[in-house]
Amino acid sequence: MNRDVRKAYYGTLGVQVVEILPQVESSLAEEVLDVEKLQKLCLWVRIPHIYRVTVWKALLGVIPTIRELWPFAEEQKLVQYTMLRKAAFLAFPSNGDEPEEHTMVNMFILQCNLKSPRRLRKLKEISSRHPAFDNLLHLARSFLLVVERQNESAYFLFSHFLLNNHPDILNVVLDSRRRDLSIRPYVITMDRLLQQSSQGPQILDKMRSLGVKLEELSGSWFHSYFSSIMPPDCLERIWDILLGGQPTIMAHVATAVLVAARRALEDAKSKADVLDGMVKHIALIDMAGVTQTGIQTWEFSMGVGIEKSPPNLGPNVSGVLGSQLLPSPEEQDSP
């Protein structure tokens, strides 16, 4: 999105471009937070690091919107965190040197099953062997890094993030027959973006010829919200936009990742070659650049009708045009 478009959008918020930092500060200083305004700021500016945790807490419901209640809420959260942490160590005994992200995942499992000992026992038996467990670990570890090892804040951001974005995750783990449809809207939108990009059709044709489905490549990216492949500084901007109420950013970033790692497909002779090669190529690509490309294509899709030409996205994802919306329920149900 070009400078004039950004300035016009900021103007709708009553914000001048040079006043972004004071605007975030003043928004957080209000007696009653304007959640809608915070969401808009998350979409169109990079939230300053020193305020990101507070903004995310407000958007995820970790803290109340009434500012004067924050001290009381923080006290209650500390008590809840302390008790839940102790209970998790009792419910999931370890040798004492378990990484903090393991403790966070155990706490989350316990929190969601306090009234169902039977479910808790079953989850204890199968959770560490389930693929979803690795994605939860990646997500927990990333929240720890984003908040600079403030364990209490990291846990509540992690748990509220999951409950807001994937509340069904533990039911999927418990029932092996249950299909996890949470990423289907992202996969459908990603397919559309690839079809409309300059290199996407070739990528899709190659995948079909080898029997590789988009969800097989991108599933762990979506389930971990990119924490399995990206460093915290990239995740922060993606999650800003996601928490700002625009889940389509997930498909745009995933498309940018796949196009950047497309060489994994070029010489592949089998599905196994693709899956193994993708892991190796992803480790080599510039994730900061890929993230920026995904955000630029998302910004352009949001600004269609304002700009007459797409931004300069480079060779990786040029030609991704049009306003991309998540599919309707009818499209999600289609084969």
| Cβ-contact 154, 104 below 8 angstroms | yes
| Cβ-contact 141, 226 below 8 angstroms | no
Residue type, 250: M
Least confident of 96-105, 155-164, 289-298: 96-105
The DSSP secondary structure of 55-81, one letter per residue, reads HHHHHHTSS-SBGGGHHHHHHHHHHHH
Report the largest interatomic distance among the alpha carbons of the chain, rounded to a whole angstrom.
62
Q: In which domain, by residue range, is 143 found?
A: 81-174
Q: What is the CATH number of the domain that holds 24?
A: 1.10.10
pTM as predicted? 0.83
Least confident of 5-19, 25-39, 103-117, 305-319: 305-319
Highest mean pLDDT among 19-33, 119-133, 298-312: 19-33
Confidence category of residue 19, pLDDT binned at 50, 70, 90 = low
With CA atoms as reference, report the closest residue to 55 among 80, 85, 18, 30: 30
Mean pLDDT for 90-119 is 86
Confidence category of residue 46, pLDDT binned at 50, 70, 90 = confident
Residue 72 lies in a domain: no
**78-102: b (≥16 Cβ within 10 Å) or e:** eeebeebbeebeebbeeeeeeeebb
Q: Angle CA(45)–CA(160)–CA(118) in degrees, nearest 5?
A: 160
Residue 227 lies in a domain: yes
Please say which residue of 153, 174, 195 terminates a domain.
174
Confidence category of residue 84, pLDDT binned at 50, 70, 90 = very high
Q: How many domains does the chain have?
A: 3
Confidence category of residue 165, pLDDT binned at 50, 70, 90 = very high
pLDDT at 262: 92
Asked if the model's pLDDT at residue 333 lies above 60, the reply is no
Ordered alpha helix ranges (H), 147-223: 151-165, 169-174, 184-196, 200-209, 214-223
The pLDDT mean for the chain works out to 84
167 and 85 part of one domain: yes
pLDDT at 17: 40
With CA atoms as reference, report the closest residue to 125 among 181, 177, 82, 176: 176
Mean pLDDT for 222-230 is 96
Confidence category of residue 312, pLDDT binned at 50, 70, 90 = very low
Residue 73 lies in a domain: no
Residues 60-75: tens digit of each pLDDT: 999 999 999 999 999 9
Asked if the model's pLDDT at residue 301 lies above 60, the reply is yes
287 and 150 part of one domain: no
How far apart, in whole angstroms, are the C-alpha atoms of residue 332 and residue 185? 6
325 and 196 part of one domain: yes
Residues 246-283: tens digit of each pLDDT: 999 999 999 999 999 999 888 899 999 999 999 999 99
How far apart, in whole angstroms, are the C-alpha atoms of residue 12 and residue 42? 15
- Helix, strand, or coil (residue 40): helix
pLDDT at 125: 78
With CA atoms as reference, report the closest residue to 224 among 287, 155, 135: 135
| Cβ-contact 183, 222 below 8 angstroms | yes
pLDDT at 209: 95
How far apart, in whole angstroms, are the C-alpha atoms of residue 42 and residue 50? 14
Rg, the chain, Cα only: 21
The DSSP secondary structure of 102-152, one letter per residue, reads HHHHHHHHHHTTTT-HHHHHHHHHHGGGSHHHHHHHHHHHHHHHHTTT-HH
Residue 69 lies in a domain: no
Residue 16 lies in a domain: yes
116 and 248 part of one domain: no
209 and 301 part of one domain: yes
Mean pLDDT for 157-173 is 90
